Amino acid sequence: MPAATRARYKLLRFTFALSIITYVDRVCISTAAGSISNELHLNPAQMGWVFSAFTLAYAIFEIPSGRLGDTLGPRKVLTRIVLWWSAFTMATGLVWGYISLLTARFFFGAGEAGAFPNMSRSLSHWFPERERGTAHGVMFMGSRLGGAVTPLLVTPILAYAGWRTSFWIFGTLGIAWCVFWWRWFRDDPGKHPDVSLSELELIRESRTSSHNTELPLRSLFQLQLLWISLMYFCYGYSLYFYLTWLPTYLQQVRGFSRSETSVVHTFVLLTAAAASICGGRLTDILVRRYGLRIGRSIGAVALPVSGIALAGAALTSSNIAAAVLLAVAAGSGDLCLSTCWAICHDIAGDAAGTVTGCMNTFANIGGSLSPLVIGYTVKWWGSWSTPLLIAAGISVVGGLLTLPIDPRKTLQGSKH
């Protein structure tokens, strides 16, 4: 028997790196929002539409891109996705007004759609069921680390080279990633020279099929998937406050300077990064000890805690307390992040690309509404507390929606 290999962990490093790049490109605009608004003369409602243009396009194209991964495989699809979004990241630095900025961000979102479903699908084919929660935790930790380091990277670029340069620089990262990804990755681990027979047996220990499959579209209209999607809508609605308006909130409401805002924003997203990996590890431990139903139910507690902490941040008069509560809110929400994606693999098997795409579509519908609600509320009533309390309530509802989800019940039409 050949010695056991660990090639699947190299794949995990690829997805970890891409998650960082994904959120560097995504969060860059929130850090630069003040400079962009000043140069292009945009009001809060217009910036809300700029933020939402990305998530709206992301939501529209998420299921088609995830479904494409189920049929063509993530090697080809991810390469197309990353090249597309990198091009429109750089194009953001070329805009000359409101309409051109909206257009660039819309096509950026259309290009990035399907990135996480296809990364998730690659993990499901390269990792056994008992390791998938931790693998997803590592992947999503990368996304939060990317978001966390972005303010620290963008702030000095804004000071010395301007906001346009930051988009040109960050757009090149994805192109470099694609070169190495295309050369190394294979959709089927059984066809990769770095994977030994013993590792392949481990990967396939809980699988009865290893081929691509296409889930019938009618299978998406099942109650089980509806609960998952609505729960993830609630998660996405709150998440996009941290990814879009948080720097503006910290400066305008809490009075932090630009450098202080970068530090607090980084602290909030680093807390979320730590929670992502902890949540992935926790769900794997709970599944082994208590089974899938309990092991995948972290959101029933984590999302309400997130909502309560966000409400506290909105109502407190202490800036330090608000910063800490925002970190608790973001971290509690991300504690159930890996669990949500693992549930999709539990119920969908080989069609996980389509199902995760469906779930993430709802999150991005929530993410497209959130910046608009905040932007218009601030413009019309001058209130920041009201939209944060709305987001807090939606998080609590997300926890309640977790309760009827049973990952032991697979979708009709899926293959495992």
> How far apart are alpha carbons 282 and 133 in whole angstroms?
8
Q: For 17-68, what is each residue's pLDDT tens digit?
A: 999 999 898 889 988 888 999 999 998 889 989 988 998 898 899 989 988 9
Kindly indicate the confidence band of residue 203, based on its pLDDT and cuts at 50, 70 and 90: confident
Q: What is the pTM of this model?
A: 0.81
Kindly indicate the confidence band of residue 1, based on its pLDDT and cuts at 50, 70 and 90: very low
Cβ neighbours of 49 (radius 10 Å): 19
Reduced to 3 states (helix: H, G, I; strand: E, B; else coil), residue 415 is strand
Please report the domains of the chain, with CATH numbers, ordered by start residue.
7-208+220-402 (1.20.1250.20)
Which DSSP category does 365 fall into? H
| Percentage of the chain lying above the pLDDT 90 cut | 64
Structural contact between residues 75 and 18, judged by C-beta atoms closer than 8 angstroms: no
Q: What is the mean pLDDT of the chain?
A: 90
3 token code pair: 């010695």
Structural contact between residues 196 and 4, judged by C-beta atoms closer than 8 angstroms: yes
pLDDT at 211 over 90: no
143 CB burial (10 A radius; 0-12, 13-18, 19+): buried
Q: Which amino acid is at 281?
A: R
User: Please, what sign has the CA dihedral across residues 285, 240, 301, 414?
Assistant: negative
Q: For 327-346, what is each residue's pLDDT tens digit?
A: 999 999 999 998 999 898 88
Q: For 162-175, what is each residue's pLDDT tens digit?
A: 999 999 999 999 99
> How far apart are alpha carbons 194 and 148 in whole angstroms?
33
Q: For 248-300, what is each residue's pLDDT tens digit?
A: 899 999 999 988 998 999 999 999 999 999 999 999 899 989 998 999 999 99
Q: For 360-394, what is each residue's pLDDT tens digit?
A: 999 989 988 998 999 899 888 888 999 999 999 99
> How far apart are alpha carbons 280 and 274 in whole angstroms?
10
